A and B are shown apart, each in its own frame.
Chain A
Amino acid sequence: MTAYLLRRIVSGLVTLVVASIVVFSVLEVIPGDPARLMLGMNATDDAVQALRVQMGLDQGFLIRYFHWTGGLLTLDFGKSYTYSVPVGELIAERVTVSLPLALIALALSTAIAIPVGVFAAARRGKPADTISMAVAQVGVAIPNFWFALLLVYLFAVWLQLVPAGGFPGWQAGIGPALKALILPAIALALPQAAILARVSRSALIEVLGEDFIRMARAKGLSRNAALWRHALRNAMLPVLTILGLQFAFLLAGTVIIENVFYLPGVGRLVVQAINQRDLIVVESVVMLLVASVILINLLVDMAYAVVDPRLRTRA
């Protein structure tokens, strides 16, 4: 098992290094002159030159790359051009919004999807299955930002239960802060839940067709007992994979949802930074998100090893 995890960790690190090269190339090499890109075509040559020196663009690519990655490792992300504050501080502040949002959404989506998937699979072909899967089918097709608009219209504009957007900050207290996050979390979670419910259902149905389920029934287990005791844990393996993938989707989702709800999170930061051409912020945030995707994948691999004994002994 340690060899398995070690291999996963090494491959995660390799991916991270390659990803950093890609990010660096896309944002600093391909544009030709990042300083010019950041300042726009109307900037004076002096201003561009000054920024070049500030960003260290007068040095070669390799030196800049190692300088940048070295900074990342020591959590020194550099200084934001537009905000004139260290990027690290900027991100740390924004993460307190985005991370809770993503986690609430993930928890919500899992809590809804897996029971629905199990329920539908157990009643396969019956009206309850058909209806819940038809709803899920439509749910998959709904863009989350449109769903967010509808939620805002229904709960904020019409019923006036929650604010339409903005974030009071955690210092305003847990209650108001959560109230501001609840609609964004639902908007993020439900379309994801639709996907997850479909995956859980089909995974479970596939497992229910396996020989060992028939064997369990031949032992005297009822249909339901066989489902709970033998099918569920096996069906969770593909569901775990999808959960890992969904985290990446949720991260991307927060980018757009935070913009719908005017939440001061990492996603809104990156979109603003892109509009203001603040490349230092963009590359730091992208690397952060990539690193968290890789970390989540690693966690999924570890969860696999816990659930599946075949991985544990496969040295």
Chain B
Amino acid sequence: MSLLEIENLKLDIGGTPILKGIELKIEAGEIMGLVGESGSGKSMTALSVMRLLPEFAALSGRIGFNGLDLVKASEEDMCALRGDDIGMVFQEPMTALNPLKTIGEQVAEGIRLHTGANRTDAEGQARVMLQRVGLPPEKFALSRYPHELSGGQRQRVVIAIACALKPKLLIADEPTTALDVVLQAQILDLLRELVNENRMGMLLISHDLAVATEMADRITILRGGEVMETGDTAQTLSAQVRPYTRQLTQASLHVPERHKRVSATTSSSNESKPPLLSVKNVTKDYPGRRASLFEKPQTFRAVDNVSFTLGEGRSVALVGRSGCGKSTLARVILALEKSTSGSVAFRGEVVTGRDEAALRSARRDMQVVFQDPYGSFNPRRTVEWLVAEPLHLLDKKPGKAERRELIEHALHEVGLQPSDMHKYPHEFSGGQRQRISIARAIITRPKLVVADEPVSALDVSIRAQILDLFAHLNQKLGVAYIFITHDLTVARAITDEVMVMHEGRIVETGKTEEVLSHPQSDAARMLVEAAPDLHLALAKKMQEQG
């Protein structure tokens, strides 16, 4: 008998079918990867096993665990199982811990509840467990509060809570999605070790096929609340029997077709022309908190003496761990933040320290695309209004007909219909919104577009399409890009050069392919090693699983 047997699991929430007959088995000591795009029902499957579903959820089918059917189990039985035989790790470590209780209390709580141990014994066990997850008591006392720990450390506490009683089954719902790649690699290693040590079964939920491939023995692919395919990871992903499996894998591996642009070479040969963008010794400090009322506040240096140049039509990636200063640098370049020192010159003109009126012509040729396809638009305006917003920068206001033509043209360029301009942003999907975002960025025919994590909030299949669009526009319009990304696959797919940023400094620059295959600096090497890579992971799994 398997550890967990899910049979014909159906879930309805308020009359909407969410799961439509899920079948899934996990053996002891096995990692099952559950992958799928957003809305496929991955998290709901996990919450069904935990029986922590929202109110008005109707569950049917069978979830066999430990000789019990969890679908029919009483609430008391479930309370006894949760945290004891089944542990769960959630996605968001910043909010998963009670801010008013110490980490010791929070780890010990489950131990005391299930084993009846007294406070001292439970705290002893908690100490051992925290040590095991990489938080040694001499550095991380039990009396610490969550806000004193970083995101990665908090996720370790969450794992300690989930694994404190050596559960038979561990459910991890996107456990590393909120962390940067380096932390992700560390947390995944920790999870794998814990599974091996205690012969736990693990249900690993991920939207990232590379992560699932690296980790899972077997994989289940979900779509729209149904299982598309299930089987050994290597076998399933290499054979790609089902069309959806194929589609998902291809999209994850997708690299847009790009031809070497002629102008790129000509511009570099034409030495006399100033580069499109030239950043010189830019530093940005933020005021920090005061340690006491009478001391000077400490400053936090987000960007530290950064210099680089960018030629016309070139595409450069700015990569680095979260908090390394990538986004701040982008905002300084876009003149949305003032730099503390240093200068940014655009087409040979210095833009730092200029007032808004003087910036108009630079702004016209320098636009931006943001990450969040939901937050990028004022929800109260139509697409027409939103896309036309940068036209504000034109010296000669276009007439009604001309304005309309410009909007239609921009929408056409990104693959949307002219009729879309009368709709509101909420009527579009995430991918379409990102297209609108791009349409807004290119309507003034800029020479440079700064894209801050433009595809990281998108599902893989959509991501592939948006990357194609960026590549297409680069060729057609000759627009140069600065791509800010934590995802090296994106950098590899779309950029000529890469700059690696670490603690505010640019530590390595070079041709994308070279830097990513032969990183020189420690920071770059750490990034490359930690980055999940589907090609490599698949090759490794193929060897293991034959």
Residues of A with Cβ closer than 8 Å to B? 3, 6-7, 125, 210-212, 214-222, 229-230, 233-234, 307-310, 313-315
11 A-B contact pairs sorted by A residue (CB < 8 Å): A3-B290, A6-B293, A210-B95, A215-B161, A219-B161, A221-B79, A221-B113, A229-B109, A234-B99, A310-B147, A313-B145
Q: Which of A217, A220, A307 sits near B80, CB closer than 8 Å?
A: A220
- Interface contacts (Cβ under 8 Å), in number, total 83
B160-179 Cβ-contact flags toward A at 8 Å (1 or 0): 01100000000000000000
Among A6, A217, A218, A221, the one with the most B-chain Cβ atoms within 10 Å of its Cβ is A218
Complex Cα distance, B161 from A220, in Å, reads 11
> B410 at the A/B interface (Cβ < 8 Å)?
no
**Is B95 in contact with A211, judged by CB distance below 8 angstroms?**
yes
Interface hit among B81-89, B469-477, B498-506: B81-89
Bound CA–CA A202/B445 (angstroms)? 50
Contact across chains for A219 and B289 when beta carbons are under 8 A apart: no
List, in ascending order, chain A residues with CB within 8 A of B13's CB.
Answer: none
Interface: B337 (CB within 8 A): no
With both beta carbons as reference points, the residue of chain B lying nearest to A2 in the complex is identified as: B292
What is the chain A residue whose CB lies nearest that of B143? A309
Tell me which residues across on chain A come within 8 A of B95, comparing CB atoms.
Answer: 210-212
A314 to B226, CA, bound (A): 48
In the bound complex, what is the Cα–Cα distance between A184 and B114 (angstroms)? Answer: 51
Q: Is the CB of B97 within 8 A of A218?
A: no
Chain B 87-109, CB-CB to A under 8 Å as 1, else 0, gives 11010100111111100000001
Q: Does B291 contact A (CB under 8 A)?
A: yes
Known: A7-B293, A210-B95. A307 touches B100 (CB 8 A): yes
Q: A3-B290, A3-B293 are in contact. Are A215 and B82 (CB under 8 A)?
A: no
Q: How far is the CA of A75 from the CA of B360 in the complex (A)?
A: 62
Q: Are A315 and B97 in contact (CB under 8 A)?
A: no
Instruction: State whether B114 touches A220 (Cβ < 8 A).
Output: yes
Q: How many residues of B contact A (CB 8 A)?
A: 36
* A313 in complex: contacting residue of B82, B148, B158, CB < 8 Å: B148
* A220 lies within 8 A of B290 (CB): no
Residues of chain B from 202 to 232 with CB closer than 8 A to chain A in the complex:
none
Min CB distance, A285 to chain B, in Å?
34
A233 touches B83 (CB 8 A): no
Q: Which residues of chain A come closer than 8 Å to B289, judged between CB atoms?
A: 314-315
Determine if B52 and A211 form an interchain contact, defined as CB atoms under 8 angstroms apart: no
Given A211-B95, A212-B96, A222-B75, A313 and B113 touching (CB < 8 A)?
A: no
CA–CA, A81 and B394, complex, Å: 71
When A218-B87, A310-B99 are in contact, do A3 and B292 touch as well, CB less than 8 Å? yes
Cross-chain contact B162 with A218 (CB below 8 angstroms): yes
Report if B351 contacts A (CB, 8 A): no
Cβ–Cβ contact A218 & B114, under 8 A: no
B82 interface neighbour in A212, A219, A229, A233, Cβ under 8 Å: A219
Tell whether, in the assembled complex, residue A214 and residue B98 are in contact, meaning their CB atoms are under 8 Å apart. no
Which chain B residues numbered 109 to 161 have a C-beta less than 8 Å away from chain A? 109-110, 113-114, 145, 147-148, 158, 161
Contact A219 B109 (CB under 8 A): yes
CA gap between A216 and B88 in the complex, in Å? 10
- Chain B residues whose CB sits within 8 angstroms of the CB of A125 once the complex forms: 55
CA–CA, A158 to B289, complex, Å?
63
B357 → chain A closest CB, angstroms:
38
CB neighbours of B450 from chain A (8 A): none
Kindly state the separation between the CA atoms of A230 and B98 in the bound complex, as whole angstroms.
7
CA distance A4 to B110 in the complex (A): 34
Chain B contacts for A218, CB-based, 8 A: 50, 52, 82-83, 87-88, 90, 162
Q: Could you say which residues of chain A place their CB within 8 Å of the CB of B109?
A: 216, 219, 221, 229
Asked whether B82 lies within 8 Å of A220 as measured between CB atoms, the reply is yes
Within B352-389, the residues touching A (CB, 8 Å) are: none
| CB atoms of A308 and B81 under 8 A apart | no
Q: A215-B161, A315-B289, A315-B291 are in contact. Are A308 and B83 (CB under 8 A)?
A: no
Task: Specify the chain A residue showing the minimal Cβ separation from B56.
Answer: A125
Tell me the nearest residue of chain A to B55, going by C-beta.
A125
Query: A158 to B100, alpha carbons, bound, how many Å?
Result: 51
Q: B291: which A residues are within 8 A, CB to CB?
A: 3, 315
Alpha-carbon separation in the docked complex, A215 to B96 (Å) = 6
Flag if B113 contacts A219 (CB, 8 Å): yes
Among A212, A229, A309, the residue within 8 A (CB) of B147 is: A309
- A234-B98, A309-B147 are known; give 13 further A-B pairs, CB within 8 A: A211-B90, A211-B96, A212-B97, A214-B90, A219-B110, A220-B81, A220-B82, A220-B113, A220-B114, A222-B79, A230-B98, A309-B100, A309-B145
